[in-house]
């Protein structure tokens, strides 16, 4: 054996000695590992315990938490309860009353079935359960701390179960570091509690935070009433009912009216057999159904329930049971798209009966109208040329142009801008295009796109430099948010203050908007604020995202309609290209559409032979 072989053998021996022995983990360690999948944050604890209450046949569920669920969570119900032996067995891994055989997994009709939740929660908290089953004259109390059994004793209590979870993740400090602020975690708990309250109007729900009652929903048979109680009348008024049964499927619930959408999927809520799920199939089907009813990039509002044979849906996909798989995904997708689309068309058809026909909103395509060079105003711009927002008469244009006033677009920030334009104005074509002559040829300017670009860059600069003009509202606007968006707003009030909004708390999840940026109408403030909060909640707010949100806010602002001057002066028309050409990107509007088209003398000569 040579020297190199000896070195290899020595190295292998060292590796073998360093390798630890394979061992079976203790139940305590195994439960803490399993908790990483089942119990991601406090809201997961609430979800698992509420689902256990629902499976136990409860008609009353009370939820209480403190410090965002980090320090204390309590879920109490009047369900069937457990006997002393069952309560001990329930804390063993994979102990459940929901299934018996492997074949039962093919037709699961309960929320829980894995038998992992209780031992996982008990492994990472101070866990106590008090429960009593009908027919027993006493209840049972069990206390476990960080996976270690402390005691079991008899106790007095009514039929049902009461579970308390304290000091969540104290035994795994690394996990606790990844939790968000108390407000954020509380927002998620309130949101999930509201969803279960909405999904089960036949059950009375009560939610308390820090000893204060957040909401109390008594039993009701009217689903719309429950939505209004839990999420507010403001949201409920923007929903329409849907119910259809066919081919073994039942689709029911409330969906957003045509034109009502959100910037995120926060309120795209779906249930399968009463189970709250995040189904890619259902989400894409709903987005497709709303394709022509809400703007691109927006998401519908839905509280939609799909009831079907449990054997045709697989819920055993992930320990958290958030995802499902359908046996006939294509058929379900077509069913949801067809029924939702049919309902939306029915509602949209009713609204169109009184709407002004599109022919009445189109300006006749007049030929190019030259102006009188000696006149002080552009005579070709009459009352039918530009829209006047705020009047009963709809704008009469080739397109429903929502442009800002030319005066607004060209009057500010004149330092360093040439006083005269290299483009000589000739006239207006078809009510949307301004024609200019240049030394190199002819320019056709889309003045809507030009104004949009100018507004975008001016507002973006104001946001970036914190130089936004505010308008104080005589009558403050009221804003009602769900718990998640409310927590997001509380944490980012300084961002909105810098953007020109004065927002003051006005009760739980209610706010009073006392001032707005000068370019924003009060009637349009709520939708814009919801969109921005959704984007912040989805992406976070760091320096990079702050600039992105400034761009998004400026882009939305450039789209908003404001009052325009129906007869702008010649100076304003001629100053428009001057203001456009000093923009950082004068070639396109904020949607990427060109702001102007240039025809050179060579192009004109090639097309009009002999003209030059």
- pLDDT 10s digits, 416-456: 444 456 788 887 777 677 888 888 888 888 877 888 888 88
| Dist. CA 502–CA 493, nearest whole Å | 9
Residue 153: pLDDT above 70? yes
| Dist. CA 342–CA 345, nearest whole Å | 5
Please name every residue paired with 500 in a beta bridge, in sequence order, or none if there are none. Answer: none
Please name every residue paired with 327 in a beta bridge, in sequence order, or none if there are none. Answer: none
Backbone angles phi, psi at 268, to 5 degrees: -95, 90
Top mean pLDDT of 65-79, 101-115, 574-588 is at 65-79
> How large is the average pLDDT for residues 19-41?
65
How would CATH label the architecture of 27-220? 2-Layer Sandwich (3.30)
Tokens read off for 135: 């027919």
Output the CATH code of domain 361-458+563-607: 3.30.1540.20
Contact 42, 168 (CB under 8 A): yes
Backbone angles phi, psi at 429, to 5 degrees: -120, 130
* Three-class DSSP category at 559: helix
Contact 134, 112 (CB under 8 A): no
| Dist. CA 472–CA 502, nearest whole Å | 9
Radius of gyration over every alpha carbon of the chain, rounded to an integer in angstroms = 32
Please name every residue paired with 597 in a beta bridge, in sequence order, or none if there are none. Answer: 444
Tokens read off for 2: 């040579």
pLDDT of residue 306: 93
**Sheet arrangement for strand 249-256:** 239-246, 249-256, 302-307, 268-272, 275-277
Non-local (6+) Cβ contacts of 232 within 8 A are: 480
Q: Identify which of 375, 400, 397 has the alpha carbon closest to the alpha carbon of residue 385.
A: 397
> How large is the average pLDDT for residues 28-46?
72
Burial (CB < 10 A; 0-12, 13-18, 19+), residue 377, is middle
User: Between residues 13 and 174, which one has the greater pLDDT?
Assistant: 174
- Say whether pTM exceeds 0.85: no
The class that CATH gives domain 470-517+520-559 is alpha beta
Contact 558, 455 (CB under 8 A): yes
| Dist. CA 388–CA 63, nearest whole Å | 53
Mean pLDDT of the chain: 77
> How large is the average pLDDT for residues 467-479?
85
| Dist. CA 146–CA 383, nearest whole Å | 76
Contact 197, 216 (CB under 8 A): no
Of the chain, the percentage scoring pLDDT greater than 70 comes to: 74
Chain-centroid distance of CA 97 in Å reads: 37
User: Between residues 352 and 430, which one has the greater pLDDT?
Assistant: 430
Scanning the structure block, which residue is given the tokens 């069937």? 80
pLDDT of residue 415: 44
| Dist. CA 356–CA 365, nearest whole Å | 19
Q: Identify which of 587, 577, 595, 594 has the alpha carbon closest to the alpha carbon of residue 410.
A: 577
Residue 401: pLDDT above 50? no
Name the band, by pLDDT with cuts 50, 70 and 90, for residue 244.
very high
Whole-angstrom CA distances from 120 to 73, 165, 319, 599 are 15, 12, 11, 71
Tokens read off for 606: 């090639």
Q: Identify which of 573, 181, 541, 550 has the alpha carbon closest to the alpha carbon of residue 375.
A: 573
Name the band, by pLDDT with cuts 50, 70 and 90, for residue 578.
confident
Tokens read off for 344: 């939306």
Residue 394: pLDDT above 50? no
pLDDT of residue 417: 43
The length of the chain, given as a count of residues:
612
Top mean pLDDT of 30-34, 358-362, 530-534 is at 530-534
User: Between residues 441 and 94, which one has the greater pLDDT?
Assistant: 441
Whole-angstrom CA distances from 273 to 106, 150, 196, 397 are 14, 38, 13, 50
| Dist. CA 551–CA 220, nearest whole Å | 45
Residue 381: pLDDT above 50? no
Long-range contacts of the stretch 504-508 (C-beta < 8 A, 24+): 506/478, 508/214
| Dist. CA 44–CA 92, nearest whole Å | 19
Chain-centroid distance of CA 251 in Å reads: 23
Contact 387, 397 (CB under 8 A): yes
The class that CATH gives domain 238-349 is alpha beta
- Residue spans of the domains in the chain: they are 27-220, 238-349, 361-458+563-607, 470-517+520-559
Contact 434, 573 (CB under 8 A): yes
């Amino acid at each position: 054996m040579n020297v190199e072989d000896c070195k290899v053998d020595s190295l292998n021996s060292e590796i073998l000695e360093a390798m630890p022995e394979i061992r079976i983990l203790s139940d305590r360690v195994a439960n803490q590992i399993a908790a990483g999948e089942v119990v991601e944050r406090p809201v997961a604890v609430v979800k698992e315990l509420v689902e256990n209450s629902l499976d136990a046949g409860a008609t009353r569920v009370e939820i209480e938490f403190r410090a965002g669920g980090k320090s204390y969570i309590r879920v109490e119900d009047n369900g069937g309860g457990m006997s002393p032996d069952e309560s001990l067995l329930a804390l063993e891994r994979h102990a459940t009353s929901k299934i018996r055989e492997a074949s039962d997994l093919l037709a699961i009709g309960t929320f829980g079935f894995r038998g992992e939740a209780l031992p996982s929660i008990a492994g990472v908290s101070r866990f106590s359960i008090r429960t009593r089953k009908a027919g027993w004259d006493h209840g049972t109390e069990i206390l476990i701390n960080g996976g270690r059994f402390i005691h079991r004793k008899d106790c007095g209590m009514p039929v049902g179960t009461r579970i308390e979870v304290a000091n969540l993740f104290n035994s795994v400090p690394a996990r606790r570091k990844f939790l968000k602020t108390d407000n954020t975690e509380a927002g998620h708990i309130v949101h999930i509690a509201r969803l279960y309250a909405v999904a089960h109007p036949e059950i009375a729900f009560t939610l308390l935070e820090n000893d204060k009652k957040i909401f109390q929903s008594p039993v009701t048979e009217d689903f719309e009433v429950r939505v209004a109680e839990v999420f507010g009348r403001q949201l409920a008024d923007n929903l329409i009912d849907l119910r259809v049964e066919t081919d073994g499927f039942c689709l029911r619930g409330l969906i957003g009216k045509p034109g009502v959408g959100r910037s995120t999927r926060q309120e795209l809520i779906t249930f399968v057999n009463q189970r709250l799920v995040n189904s890619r199939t259902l989400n894409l089907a709903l987005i497709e159904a709303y394709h022509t009813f809400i703007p691109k990039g927006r998401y519908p509002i839905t509280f939609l329930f799909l009831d079907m044979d449990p054997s045709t849906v697989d819920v055993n996909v992930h320990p958290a049971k958030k995802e499902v798989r359908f046996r006939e995904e294509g058929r379900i997708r077509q069913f949801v798209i067809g029924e939702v689309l049919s309902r939306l068309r029915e509602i949209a058809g009713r609204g169109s009966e009184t709407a002004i026909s599109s022919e009445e909103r189109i300006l006749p395509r007049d030929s190019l109208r030259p102006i009188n060079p000696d006149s002080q105003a552009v005579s070709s711009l009459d009352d039918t040329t530009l829209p006047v927002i705020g009047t009963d008469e709809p704008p009469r244009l080739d397109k429903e142009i929502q442009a800002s006033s030319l005066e607004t677009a060209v009057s500010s920030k004149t330092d360093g801008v040439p006083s005269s334009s290299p483009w000589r104005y000739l006239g207006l074509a078809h009510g949307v295009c301004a024609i200019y002559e240049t030394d190199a040829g002819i320019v056709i300017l889309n003045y809507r796109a030009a104004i949009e670009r100018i507004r975008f860059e001016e507002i973006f600069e104001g946001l970036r430099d914190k130089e936004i003009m505010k308008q104080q509202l005589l009558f403050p606007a009221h804003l009602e948010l769900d718990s998640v968006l409310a927590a997001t707003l509380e944490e980012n009030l300084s961002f909105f203050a810098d953007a020109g909004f004065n927002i003051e708390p006005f009760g739980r999840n209610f706010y009073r908007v006392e001032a707005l940026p000068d370019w924003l109408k009060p009637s349009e403030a709520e939708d814009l604020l919801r969109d921005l909060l959704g984007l912040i909640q989805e992406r976070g707010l760091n320096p990079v995202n702050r600039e992105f949100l400034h761009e998004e806010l400026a882009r939305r602002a450039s789209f908003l309609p404001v009052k325009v001057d129906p007869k702008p002066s010649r100076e304003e028309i001629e100053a428009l290209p001057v203001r456009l050409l000093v923009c950082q990107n004068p070639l396109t509007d904020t949607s990427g559409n060109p702001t102007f088209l240039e025809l050179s003398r060579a192009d004109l000569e090639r097309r009009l032979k002999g003209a030059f």
